[in-house]
Structure 1
Amino acid sequence: MAYVPRERVRELAAVLSIVSLAVVFAAAGGRIPQSTVPTAPEWVLELIPHVNVAISATAIGTITVGWRAIRRGDVDRHRVAMLASFVLFVAFLAFYLYRLVATGGPQPFPGPDAVYQFVYLPILAIHILLAIVCVPLVYYALLLAGAYSIDELRRTSHARIGRLAASLWLVSFSLGIVVYVLLHVVY
């Protein structure tokens, strides 16, 4: 059963991507005032990065399960795993954006300047770039899955776009864990 109008998949993916990325850039750029989010105790704000690393690790697992399931022909398990991955991504982003707005901006890097310039920044840049690229790909793959039956879906670009999105998503989540380790474990 189709849940998304087939003729609108690209447009809907584009609109969702633009809106999502606009919210992220607005939060990262300090355009969303702290007064727009409820105040949380400091311990909650400090807990969010730790929750998000657990979410990221879990998402790596669900993406991997989804990928393996579809390779084995288990469409139902693939669907559940990939929807779970998307829900985890949304939860991660909601927590991250909440903390970003509530604290007034990104957390400064506490380590040495050389590590900041030659390790942290390149890893962070690649992580962010991949996350940005993933947004429209993930929306497009999910919307195709909602617009076509399983038999019809095989004749769309869902598999090709899905493989690309999953690959980039895995690398982005993994690099996000490296960023966490640099910010909260090493330094």
Structure 2
Amino acid sequence: MQRTFRRHVPLITTLLTVVSLVVVIAAVRQLVPEAVLPPLPDGVLHAIPHANAAISALAIGTIVYGWRSIRDGRIERHRRAMGASFLLFLAFLGLYLLRVAIEGPTTFDGPEALKLWVYYPVLGIHILLAIVCLPLVYYVLLLAATHEPSELGETAHPRVGRVAAGLWLISFALGIVVYLLLYVLPI
């Protein structure tokens, strides 16, 4: 089975990316049937953005730790840190999609000038980077899952991983800025 996955990493990456994007679009457009959504108390729904900001901060920490670990040649620490980063990403995404599928996207209620010149550009870049990161992250994780650590240097894993980690960091950081603009900074 691992050999089959190994030969088809680009195809599996594409399939995972397409499925992920379809799920995200369905949730954001509130196309998920209510019957599959769990009933959540308002307190839980309102806590999700705060939890996601904390998850994002933790993910930034694990990505940086993983990046430093591989630069120091600590392969197992790198593997654990990047695995933790991916699990944090999945937790973030699951909570975000649950909330947005139930309540819809949050609107920015601040001044129009701030919305046009700060909020929308930050949100747009955050979303664009999240979309770009998705196949890159899937690709490097699939390479890591289908190759021995000693083989990864001969694959695109190091090169693509550096790009994926950098963009992932920026996306998580901009997500925290979006959170601050929506929920923390009273305007």
TM-score (norm 2): 0.96
Does the alignment pair 1:168 with 2:167?
yes
Distance 1:160 1:3 in 2: 22
Change (3 A) 1:44 1:28: same
Q: CA deviation at 1:68?
A: 0.1
The residue that corresponds to 2:156 in the other structure is 157
Q: Which moved more, 1:107-116 or 1:56-65?
A: 107-116
Q: CA deviation at 1:36?
A: 2.4
Whichever residue aligns with residue 185 of structure 2, its letter is V
Distance 1:83 1:4 in 2: 22
The residue that corresponds to 2:9 in the other structure is 9
Could you list the per-position Cα deviations for residues 29-76 of structure 1 after superposition, in whole angstroms to 9, with x for gaps in the alignment? Answer: 222233420111100000000000000000000000000000000000
Distance 2:134 2:112 in 1: 31
Distance 1:3 1:131 in 2: 29
Could you list the per-position Cα deviations for residues 137-157 of structure 1 after superposition, in whole angstroms to 9, with x for gaps in the alignment? Answer: 000000000111111111000
- Confirm or deny: 8 A CA contact 1:69 1:78 kept in the other structure: yes
Does the alignment pair 1:112 with 2:111?
yes
User: What RMSD in Å do the two structures reach over aligned CA positions?
Assistant: 1.1
The residue that corresponds to 1:68 in the other structure is 68
Distance 1:11 1:24 in 2: 20
After TM superposition, which residue ranges in structure 1, 4 or more long, deviate above 2 angstroms? 2-5, 33-36
Q: What pairs up with 1:22-61 in 2 under 5 angstroms? A: 22-61=22-61
Distance 2:122 2:4 in 1: 36
The residue that corresponds to 1:84 in the other structure is 84
Unaligned runs of 5+ in 2: none
- Confirm or deny: 8 A CA contact 2:5 2:12 kept in the other structure: no
Unaligned runs of 5+ in 1: none
Q: CA deviation at 1:182?
A: 0.3
TM-score (norm 1): 0.96
Could you list the per-position Cα deviations for residues 151-173 of structure 1 after superposition, in whole angstroms to 9, with x for gaps in the alignment? Answer: 11110000001000000000000
- Confirm or deny: 8 A CA contact 1:63 1:82 kept in the other structure: yes
The residue that corresponds to 2:182 in the other structure is 183
Whichever residue aligns with residue 27 of structure 2, its letter is A
Distance 2:159 2:11 in 1: 19
- Confirm or deny: 8 A CA contact 2:29 2:101 kept in the other structure: no
Q: CA deviation at 1:4?
A: 6.5
Change (3 A) 1:3 1:182: farther
- Confirm or deny: 8 A CA contact 1:137 1:161 kept in the other structure: yes
Distance 2:29 2:155 in 1: 37
| Count of residues in correspondence between the two structures | 185
